[in-house]
Amino acid sequence: MLAMFFWAFVVGGAFCVIGQLLFDIAKLTPAHTLSLMVVIGAVLDGLGLYEPLMDFAGAGATTPITSFGNSLVHGAMQEAETHGLVGVVTGMFEVTSAGISAAIIFGFIGALLFKPKG
């Protein structure tokens, strides 16, 4: 269990360093960087590399935004197994639903509760 915490810290930190390098060296905006990392996550899952990383690093792999791309592909592939090509479209949000719905729900609650600053 302690090893899991350690690897979550290291792998999650490493993802953030990659993001920081894209900020500083490639001079991308945060939006470009995050979009790129989601695409990278989707491609990594397509190659079958993200699943082992998740087993190895736990939240270190599920917390960075790359896991969003990964779970989109996962949902699509799950449905594709039962419904073929149609499933690619219908299953897209199957696994990611938590992140998107949480963002919308808490975003709206946040807007109800808090006033903008400055």
* Contact assessment for residue 73 and residue 96, using Cβ atoms and an 8 Å cutoff: no
Closest CA to 77 of 96, 63, 92: 92
CB of 118 to other proteins, least distance (A): 9
Contact 33, 16 (CB under 8 A): no
Tokens representing 97 are 């639903």
State the minimum distance, in angstroms, from the CB of residue 59 to other proteins: 3
In the complex, minimum distance from the CB of residue 4 to other proteins, in angstroms, rounded to a whole number: 6
